[in-house]
Amino acid sequence: MSDKKSGGKKPAGSGSSDKAPSGSPTELELQIQARRDHLAATIDELTTRAQPKEIARRSAAALSDRFQTVTHTPEGELRSERVAAVAGAFVVVAGALIFIRGRG
């Protein structure tokens, strides 16, 4: 029969095994220490990932990768038509700004 309160699910925080821990106290202490070490490493990694410098570094790397993808073919050749289009748009916008500021 299934447990109606839990809906057949394991309670939160239960391990991946349904068995009760077994072994000598020394083995249990070693398992606990191994889990502590694993959790400490995970927390250190998350702390590093959350630092503003690391977030900025990842964002800059993603932007660089995106720029490379947009301006180069998969073979590494420059997509001159895209670069020319961006340069032309920049010239038009810069010219419009100079024109507007010159009239004001």
For 39-72, write each residue's pLDDT tens digit: 999 999 999 999 999 999 999 999 999 988 888 8
Band of pLDDT at residue 104, cut at 50, 70 and 90: low
- Spatial separation of the C-alpha atoms in residues 72 and 82, rounded to whole Å: 9
Determine if the pTM surpasses 0.85.
Answer: no
pLDDT score for 20 = 64
